[in-house]
Amino acid sequence: MRVADIALKVRSKNAGPFWVTVDIFCGSAVAFARLSRLPTAAIARVYGQPEQLLKRFDIAELNVIKISFPRPVVQGSREDRDMHGAQWAHLLAEMELGD
């Protein structure tokens, strides 16, 4: 089972040139409860980031989980491959949930 099989939508976007933010719209309280159990460490691994750099917001009122972290490459710098950071969402959407 992957995140995308449970969540309504996963999207990502730059939050300014130095940050990227990923929103998981769970769509229901049940999906939110399940996805809230996703360890931050596992999400950090998907993006190859140290866990302590991730800011995480589990917002029950919206059934949304939001994860923000500094862009490992600054938007538009030579190594950047995705100017808007919008494709990053798919990595999390395709992440296997395990148990």
Partner 1 sequence: MPTRVLVPSGVLGLGFDRKALARGVAMRPDIIAIDGGSTDSGPYSLGAGQSKYSRAATRAEWRELMLARAEAGVPLVIGTAGTCGADATVDWMFDITAELAAELGQSARVARLYSGQPAERVITALREGRIAPLTPAPEITEAGLSAMTNIVALAGAEQVQAALATGAEIVICGRTTDTALIAALPLARGDHAGAAWHGAKIAECGALCSTHPMTGTIMVEFDAAGFTVEPMAEAAACTPFSVSAHMLYENSDPFRLYEPGGHLDVTAARYAALDGRRVRVEGSRWVPGPYTVKLEGARAAGYQTTILAILRDPRYVAKARDWVAGLQAFLAAEISRRMGLEPLAYSLEFRLIGQDGALGAMETRRGQPVEIGVLGIVTAASQALASEIGKLINPFVLHHPLTPDEELPTFAFPYSPATTDRGALYEFALNHVMRLDAPMDAFRLTVTEVGHARR
- 32 lies in the site for partner 1, by CB under 8 A: no
- 27 lies in the site for partner 1, by CB under 8 A: no
C-alpha distances out from residue 61 to 2, 17, 57, 91, 93, Å: 23, 29, 11, 25, 21
One character per residue 39-58, x = contact with partner 1 (rule: CB under 8 A): -------xxx------x-x-
Q: How many chain residues touch partner 1 (CB under 8 A)?
A: 37
The pair of structure tokens assigned to 45 is: 């691994």
Q: Which residues pair with 57 in a beta bridge?
A: 66
- 14 lies in the site for partner 1, by CB under 8 A: yes
Strands (E), the chain: 9-14, 19-25, 55-59, 64-70
- 98 lies in the site for partner 1, by CB under 8 A: no
Cβ neighbours for 84, distance < 8 A, ≥ 6 positions apart: 13, 14
Binding residues for partner 1, rule: CB under 8 A, are 13-19, 21, 23, 25, 46-48, 55, 57, 59, 61-62, 64, 66, 68, 70, 74-79, 81-84, 87-88, 90-91, 94
